[in-house]
Amino acid sequence: AQSVTQLGSHVSVSEGALVLLRCNYSSSVPPYLFWYVQYPNQGLQLLLKYTTGATLVKGINGFEAEFKKSETSFHLTKPSAHMSDAAEYFCAVSRSFSGGYNKLIFGAGTRLAVHP
């Protein structure tokens, strides 16, 4: 069964510093992996996704993530944090079922704080 672990429920960085949010997954089949961002009182917005092909995935707002099969990881990074990056971030793995539908298994989320 698929599962997702996000290491660190809270991460705090200085503006301009590197952002690193960690995600490890468990999957018995090749995974489809996603990162979402949620700003206060808003829905989730897709940052990026990995399905197949290139293991370094670029997303919106300068974020990227690297799929490492050997480490079962899909960490999210951004070279330079901006105040507007403060939000909650969710990593997810897709689980497929017969009948043509899928479910996303979400991690518990990481709240990113950016301070001046």
Q: Which two tokens stand for residue 75?
A: 């960490």
Q: Which two tokens stand for residue 54?
A: 């290139």
Using CB under 8 A as the binding rule, whether residue 104 contacts other proteins is answered as: yes
86 vs 104, beta carbon nearer other proteins: 104
Using CB under 8 A as the binding rule, whether residue 12 contacts other proteins is answered as: no
Least separation in angstroms between residue 25's CB and other proteins is 14
Least separation in angstroms between residue 64's CB and other proteins is 16
Q: How far is CA 61 from CA 1, 54, 58, 75, 95, in A?
A: 32, 19, 9, 16, 27
Using CB under 8 A as the binding rule, whether residue 96 contacts other proteins is answered as: yes
